[in-house]
Structure 1
Amino acid sequence: MKLNDSQAAQGLEGKDASGSAGRQKMGRLPALRWAELPKPVGLRKMLGPGIILVAVGIGSGEYISHPYITSQVGLTFLWAAAVGLGLQYFINTEVARYTLATGETAVTGFTRLWRGWAPLFVIMTVVPFAWPGWMSSAATMVTFTAGGQGSVQWIAVGGLVIIGLVLTLSPIVYKTVEKIEFLKVIAILVFAVVIILFVIGWEPWAALPAATVQGAGRMPEGIPAAFLVTAMVFAGGGGALNLTVSNYIRDKGWGMGAHAPRIVSPITGHEEAGSATGTQFEITPESEGHWKTWWKNAKTEQFWSFFVIGLFTIVIFSLLAYRLMPVGSYEGKGDLSFIQVQANIIGEQFGGPLQTFYLLIGTVALMFANLAVVDIVARVVADVLAVSYLRDHKFWTEAKIYTTCVWTMIALGVIILSVGITQPITLLAMAAILNCGVMVVYCALLIRLNRSLHKVVRITRPRILALGLAVLFYAAVAVFTTVTQIQTLISA
């Protein structure tokens, strides 16, 4: 049950010493309200946030980047997918920890530490994801399916407008996004089963363990650094996308997120009362038991729906590339022409229906990835504006701000496409490099944020180590990419 401000202020005031927020700084935002921690729900009802995030990765790293790398160097780079997904699993669950305990997003928590993070996270979210690389890729795939007919630019523009309408007219936005991404993942898993049974065979599976061990920790030569970064960062979610675990679990009603209002359409939905700032619970034997179940289920949901499905799809699409193309035989670029070549080989060896299925899966995966990206960016920006700048405004509710942000993202995408920037891989690489820096910043902030929670719910030392490794990993990748790019410019 969601509480309004007057209800939340009653009954539990004065118990800050035993609150789940612990020693959390309040900053310039209102103090956290008080409410009971809801009883945990079953794991099946919690499924969703991990699926949405991994669905974004399936639109880039899983479908394009890792298969292309496999075609050039074999299966030796799959270690990076496992590392990238593993680090993001810890990131996602630590983002979830803060929201489960306080009912507010991690970005709001960062803003409590320093108000300057509010505008910076707007910039760090919008700039990397303003580039409509996923939709441009989906439009290109449509032309492949149509035998080369159609304008990539206009198909992409039309797709962006459709995304805007879907997100604007959905009565409860999260439910629509979740259903769409669930359908996408199910379709991809069906395709994966088909190619496992009829295409891949046993040889690629036999070569996988030794190749992965052989390449562990090594960056393949002969592949642009920006491309490798794209594969690592967009394996799973990447960048500010991971932070929206907070937003999704609030709309899903996990933990103290159940006391936050959901984002609805200002046109077709009914806005819910409540505040975007947080709500903490009193630590009692009963609430501690509830917390342990919420936390266990949150980790399980992210492990299976994010890590396992993400790694499975990367491996399957990489094994498909390994099966279809002898290593090093493909001399083209790592763009959608690679997908077209694979599709032609599938058609020649296994028939036109499977070829069409492969292309349609790619089209759907990329378009729905762009839908999730627009939704995610709009959620982060709306949350920041609603909490830090328009908290007491009567007209600009979070739902209205969200809808405005959606159409602003659509407009930016249309402008970028209109000036002729339609090369998908270039757009995705730009986003990946920018997101490396973003991840370094918020991994460090998550450690600071979650160490301040009550001792019953705060981050543990092994998890601090995991986030610390994430900081070092993404910082190293960012430095490697920058140095490599500079060297390339100098040599040119």
Structure 2
Amino acid sequence: MSHPLGVSRPDLTVTDLPTPEEVFKVSKIGTKELVKYAIGPSLIALGISIGSGEWLLGPLSVGQYGFVGVGWVITVSALLQTFYNVECARYVVATGEVPVVGWGRVPPGWKLWIPLSVFIVIFAFIAGGWAASAGQGVYALVHGTVAPTGAEEPRLWAIALLVLVFLITALAKRISRALELANWMMVSAILLALLAVDLLIVPWSQWWDGIRGFLTPAAPPAGITATQLGGLAGFTALASGLNWYVMGHYRDKGYGMGYRAGFLSGMRGGRSELLASGITFPDDGLNRGLWRRWYRLLLTDMWGVFFVGAILGMLLPTLLMSQAVAMSGQKPTRANVPTFVAGVLGDEYGPALFYVALVVGVLILFSTQLGIFEAMVRVATDSAHATSPRLRALIEGDPRRFYYPFMLVLLVIISIIIHLTLPVGLVEWSANMSNLGALIYPFLLIYLNSRLPRPARPRPWHYVILVLNFLFFGFFFVNFIADFIGEPLVTF
């Protein structure tokens, strides 16, 4: 029995969904089991999310222009992206196929969509701006002062952090689980530290200004460009139209049919089988009930963890930046934004808060680079493994034999690129390239998800939300291209 879906890829084989208890090896899924076992992919996404937008582009925009006209862009972006993430993950949970492989089912077929998608992800994220920015923070931690413009040592620290990413994945038994645990620690430390510092130094009137700015639609502030707003929108929450590149972790976590499809194991893990094509479930009473259970877990993971964390992850750093601007009477620049807050807090309160802010900044940026670097390798590995029987024969069916050499190649390339421009410039480029995805992938998702087994298909209003993603993020990308080649279409 099989389920035809799209073109140029094998039909999906059909078997029953597993139960959550079977996957997570527990007798029942209560609150404790939910937190301990079921929550996870959202944390990897959140670790990436709390990074470039939250520590660089968001604070830079708020520091220069204030909350009014900026904050509501953050909120709209987070809402749209969380809806979009759920739709990307819906396909993974229903088929066990990661999105980059699923795109190959959309006409005209895999020879267009899979290579193009791998290229877009790598082209958008290979700049390594997060590692470069984190390297500035490590330099300041080591030397007790901000690095001079153009210094080489911060870039060497950035390369060392990339090597650390390689080691984390290499020492893992199961790569996704290692990323989950790393992000549990980093995201918890980041949010708790930011909350403590904000409660200590940010007055309540400023808290209210920030919250009101997040909730009140207003015209963009005079002087800000649509390219700057586009970078902020693109990297609020995750990566707008390219968020799908992280949703494959639901397969490795074992959500739904992902449990049947396999996962990527680390060097310390035993060899695990990874199916080259997807698998889905029959439309019967048993599987309809199981699908509803998996879908509720997905919604809890995305809305309860990712969305809430993304909003807090943007609100807390921007409040801190706003207070730093008020205390110093200065505004951050593209060159000094990675360490601006730490410098102001050090001047105002002494070295303790200087180092706290630096550590938080390094954790924020490193958690982002950890997820993005690994995801680029994962997307390429999944694509190559799914589409090339010759490669599967060459690596003897073990994806790790492609995964780790490719990661080393990317490490070398990123180490070269981070020498080319300012870290914030690298991140703004990546953010606006992420908006390019919103012009393409919502429509590919509509095609795929509308052909899933009936219980897994979205409701009509979900398609409307996907079109809104196209309109919102696509506007910023079109303006970015116009600005890049000449004059922007919209200025404020």
Fold conserved between structures, TM > 0.5: yes
Bigger CA drift: 132-141 or 344-353? 344-353
Q: Which residue of 1 aligns with 2:180?
A: 178
The C-alpha deviation readout for 1:424-443, integer Å capped at 9, x for no partner, is 01111111122211232111
Give, in angstroms, the shift of residue 308 of structure 1.
0.6
Q: Which residue of 2 aligns with 1:10?
A: none
Q: Which residue of 2 aligns with 1:9?
A: none
Q: Which residue of 2 aligns with 1:405?
A: 406
Aligned counterparts of 1:392 and 1:205: Cα–Cα separation in 2 = 55
Aligned counterparts of 1:472 and 1:36: Cα–Cα separation in 2 = 38
Matched, 1:33 2:13: yes
Q: Which residue of 2 aligns with 1:279?
A: 279
SS at match of 1:393: helix
> 2:74 is matched with which residue: 72, 81, 93?
81
Q: Which residue of 1 aligns with 2:83?
A: 90
Aligned counterparts of 2:249 and 2:271: Cα–Cα separation in 1 = 17
Aligned counterparts of 2:44 and 2:124: Cα–Cα separation in 1 = 19
> 1:62 is matched with which residue: 54, 59, 70?
54
1:359–1:300 CA distance, 2 compared to 1 (3 A): same
- Map 1:23-422; keep pairs closer than 5 Å: 24-25=5-6, 27-41=7-21, 42=29, 43-44=34-35, 45-76=37-68, 77-113=70-106, 114-115=109-110, 116-145=112-141, 146-148=143-145, 151-212=153-214, 216=217, 218-238=219-239, 242-265=243-266, 267-326=267-326, 329-335=329-335, 337-390=336-389, 393-396=392-395, 397-417=398-418, 420-422=419-421
The C-alpha deviation readout for 1:209-245, integer Å capped at 9, x for no partner, is 544455x253333234433222111112105752134
1:24–1:157 CA distance, 2 compared to 1 (3 A): same
Aligned counterparts of 2:215 and 2:237: Cα–Cα separation in 1 = 21
Equivalent residues of 2:442, 2:466 under 8 A apart: yes
TM-score normalised by L of structure 2 = 0.89
1:40–1:245 CA distance, 2 compared to 1 (3 A): farther
2:191 aligned partner, one-letter code: L
1:63–1:279 CA distance, 2 compared to 1 (3 A): same
Q: Which runs of 5+ in 1 are unaligned?
A: 1-12
Aligned counterparts of 2:339 and 2:115: Cα–Cα separation in 1 = 41
1:230–1:173 CA distance, 2 compared to 1 (3 A): same
Aligned counterparts of 2:415 and 2:211: Cα–Cα separation in 1 = 44
- The count of aligned residue pairs is 465
Aligned counterparts of 1:311 and 1:217: Cα–Cα separation in 2 = 18
1:483–1:393 CA distance, 2 compared to 1 (3 A): closer
Q: Pairwise CA RMSD of aligned residues? A: 2.3
Q: Which residue of 1 aligns with 2:440?
A: 441
Q: Which residue of 1 aligns with 2:478?
A: 479
Aligned counterparts of 2:180 and 2:56: Cα–Cα separation in 1 = 23
1:68–1:393 CA distance, 2 compared to 1 (3 A): closer
Aligned counterparts of 1:28 and 1:448: Cα–Cα separation in 2 = 14
1:93–1:62 CA distance, 2 compared to 1 (3 A): same
Give, in angstroms, the shift of residue 350 of structure 1.
3.0
Q: Which residue of 2 aligns with 1:3?
A: none
Seq. identity, %: 26
Aligned counterparts of 2:362 and 2:328: Cα–Cα separation in 1 = 26
Which of structure 1's runs of 4+ aligned residues deviate more than 6 A?
Answer: none
Bigger CA drift: 95-104 or 387-396? 387-396
The C-alpha deviation readout for 1:28-64, integer Å capped at 9, x for no partner, is 3222122220112433222111111121121111112
Equivalent residues of 1:277, 1:387 under 8 A apart: yes
SS at match of 1:475: helix
1:293–1:430 CA distance, 2 compared to 1 (3 A): same
Give, in angstroms, the shift of residue 193 of structure 1.
2.6
SS at match of 2:326: coil
Aligned counterparts of 1:56 and 1:391: Cα–Cα separation in 2 = 33
Q: Which residue of 2 aligns with 1:6?
A: none
Aligned counterparts of 1:220 and 1:167: Cα–Cα separation in 2 = 43
Aligned counterparts of 2:221 and 2:480: Cα–Cα separation in 1 = 13
1:129 aligned partner, one-letter code: F
Aligned counterparts of 1:203 and 1:69: Cα–Cα separation in 2 = 20
Equivalent residues of 1:241, 1:373 under 8 A apart: no
The C-alpha deviation readout for 1:98-132, integer Å capped at 9, x for no partner, is 11111111222210121211111111111111111
Aligned counterparts of 1:392 and 1:211: Cα–Cα separation in 2 = 52
2:116 aligned partner, one-letter code: L
Equivalent residues of 2:233, 2:240 under 8 A apart: no
Equivalent residues of 1:107, 1:384 under 8 A apart: yes
1:366–1:457 CA distance, 2 compared to 1 (3 A): same
2:144 aligned partner, one-letter code: G
SS at match of 2:468: helix
Q: Which residue of 2 aligns with 1:8?
A: none
Give, in angstroms, the shift of residue 147 of structure 1.
2.5
Aligned counterparts of 1:422 and 1:72: Cα–Cα separation in 2 = 21
1:368 aligned partner, one-letter code: S
Equivalent residues of 2:227, 2:476 under 8 A apart: no
Aligned counterparts of 2:155 and 2:466: Cα–Cα separation in 1 = 40
2:416 aligned partner, one-letter code: I
The C-alpha deviation readout for 1:69-92, integer Å capped at 9, x for no partner, is 112221121111111111111111
Q: Which residue of 1 aligns with 2:451?
A: 452
Q: Which residue of 2 aligns with 1:7?
A: none
Bigger CA drift: 42-51 or 112-121? 42-51
Give, in angstroms, the shift of residue 422 of structure 1.
4.5
Give, in angstroms, the shift of residue 475 of structure 1.
1.4
TM-score normalised by L of structure 1 = 0.89
Aligned counterparts of 2:370 and 2:213: Cα–Cα separation in 1 = 35
2:59 aligned partner, one-letter code: P
SS at match of 2:268: coil
Q: Which residue of 1 aligns with 2:24?
A: none
2:200 aligned partner, one-letter code: F
Bigger CA drift: 152-161 or 120-129? 152-161
Equivalent residues of 1:134, 1:367 under 8 A apart: yes
Q: Which runs of 5+ in 2 are unaligned?
A: 22-28
Aligned counterparts of 1:66 and 1:137: Cα–Cα separation in 2 = 15
